Amino acid sequence: MQGTAYTTTPSDLAGEPAMAVPQIRNAGPGYEWKAVALLSLAFGLVGLDRWIIAPLAPAIIADLGISPPLINALIAILGVTWGIAAVAMGSLSDRIGRRKVMLPAILIFSIASGLSGLAAGFTSLLLIRGFMGIAEGAFCPTSFASTAEASNPSRIGFNQGLQQSMFALFGLGFGPILATWLLGFTSWRGVFAIVMLPGVILTVLLWMVIREPDTITDKRQATTKASVSEVLKVRNVQISMVGLLCAMCGIFVLSANTPIYLASYLKLTPIQVGLVTSAIGFGGFVGQWVLPALSDIFGRRPMAVLGFVGGAAFVYLFMNIGAQPMQLFGALFAATVFSFGLLSLLTGPVAAESAPAGMVSTAAGLIIGVGEIFGGGLALLVAGYVIATYGIQYMLYLALGGLVFGAFLMLGLAETAPRKVKRNA
């Protein structure tokens, strides 16, 4: 494979998608696979740095003397700052370049992860995690745009799915295993220091490989870019913003509260809780890669609808299974295959193909921002209220409701997959 060079014709911004992923000239043979591989590893590191705090929570609670609910606050603050930064920095990278945003971002969030181990109390850890969210939010839409720009049009879904699947695999799959293994010979502070190191290495490798798209390197095109307000007029962007909120409502509510539900409501043993909960990471990995890849063939809209319908169906099944670990694992695995797949589908190929020319990162940033702030932040606060008022089992209805609403919403998505658009032309 090699870096692609192609153009498409934008259509009306307020209606049909623009389908204008920029070109990268003179990238050289093998650019596509090298760029996608490094960007995938980097996004896996984002997932690891973000979620490794969960398996370290018992050690942090014991050392800093904080209460368990404050761990949710540490997770939520990163989501909120991530969302705000994604909106602002996605647009900035479309103006000044991918490298100028992406490279400092990965270095900063890696260092911030290491600094987490120096926190003396809850307040300092909260500030560090919030700052880390800003850097990760800047990296997220910029890296998605870089992956789209490095990809052949027929492989955008496959490549962006691969990249985003690393988030679940590293963060929710391998992360807990790595954290508990490292705690065998170091403290939680040492774990944060260790996971900082890969980010420094990846910063250097990305600096060596990543190139800028034509819309940034060619100054003649700079004046023809759409504004943020015009991006917000694109129907697919509007639908994807609300759709990602719905998907994240399901994903984050499940990810944050499933262990408590299994232990306190279903009375599973710690080993059983760990087994069932691991389905989130491994199911998310499969879904984030497979659903966008299938959308290259069958279309973005059918796969988006299927993602929400399948996620809702298996969450409902999960709600109605008793204390049966293997059945719970199967239902949760399937639910996350579908629901996590929506994250990479909406923020990846749908955003890239719907954005006006030169505004891929802006479109992804807007979608991610709304999803993170409201789905990754506000939804957790609502879930906390539901749990405190009605009981832990009722948080599942919040997750289910978000997925059901999203299924109806996706019916209005305009098709953007190149194969489907060409076939229907």
pLDDT digits (tens), the chain, 425 positions: 344 443 333 344 444 444 455 556 555 668 888 999 999 999 999 989 888 887 788 788 888 888 766 777 788 788 888 888 888 887 788 778 888 999 999 999 999 999 999 998 999 999 999 999 999 989 988 888 888 888 877 787 788 888 888 888 888 778 877 887 888 888 999 999 999 999 999 999 999 988 887 655 554 444 445 567 788 888 898 899 999 989 988 887 887 778 778 877 888 886 787 778 888 888 988 998 889 889 988 989 999 999 999 999 999 999 999 888 899 999 999 999 999 999 889 988 888 888 777 777 788 788 888 887 877 777 777 887 888 788 888 888 988 999 999 999 999 988 888 877 777 66
My answer on whether 183 and 247 are in the same domain is: no
Residue 246 belongs to what domain range?
A: 228-419
Please report, in angstroms and rounded to a whole number, the separation of the first and last CA atoms in the chain: 27
Contact of 191 with 182, CB cutoff 8 Å: yes
What pLDDT does 11 receive?
40
* 188 and 285 inside one domain: no
pLDDT at 104: 93
Q: Same domain, yes or no, for 179 and 249?
A: no
pLDDT of residue 226: 54
Residue 255 and residue 189 share a domain: no
Helix axes 270-298, 235-260, angle to 10 degrees: 160
Residues 197 and 74 in one domain: yes
**pLDDT for 26:** 56
Residue 341 maps to a domain: yes
* Amino acid 317: pLDDT: 95
Query: Residue 7: which of 213, 234, 294 has the closest Cα?
Result: 213
The answer as to whether 23 is a domain residue is: no
What is the model's pLDDT at position 281? 83
Domain C-terminal end among 212, 239, 267: 212
* pLDDT for residue 330: 94
Q: 4 lies in a domain?
A: no
Pure H helices in 170-227: 175-182, 188-209, 214-217
From residue 93, give the alpha-carbon distance in Å to each of 128, 140, 146, 201, 358.
Answer: 24, 11, 10, 22, 10
The tally of domains found in the chain comes to 2
Q: Give, to the nearest 10 degrees, the angle between helix 395-409 and helix 379-390.
A: 140
Q: Is the pTM of this model over 0.85?
A: no
Take residue 372 and report the two structure tokens written for it.
């993170």
* 290/363 same-domain check: yes
- 244 and 339 co-located in one domain: yes
Does residue 364 lie in a domain region? yes
| Closest of 287, 423, 291 to residue 350, by C-alpha | 291
- 195 and 269 share one domain: no
Which one of 157, 178, 212 terminates a domain? 212
Alpha carbon 304 to chain centroid distance? 16
CATH (domain of 292): 1.20.1250.20
Nearest Cα to 49, choosing from 157, 160, 200? 200
Together in a domain, 158 and 256: no
Rg (C-alpha) for the chain, rounded Å, is 20
- Separation of alpha carbons 345 and 124, rounded Å: 35
User: DSSP letters along 106-169, please?
Assistant: HHHHHHHHHHHTT--SHHHHHHHHHHHHHHHHHHHHHHHHHHHHHS-GGGHHHHHHHHHHHHHI
- Same domain? For 151 and 261 the reply is no
Same domain assignment for residues 64 and 195: yes
Sequence-distant (6+) residues with CB within 8 A of 354 are 17, 18, 19, 234, 236, 237, 240, 363, 414, 416
Question: Is residue 11 included in any domain, yes or no?
Answer: no
Amino acid 225: pLDDT = 53
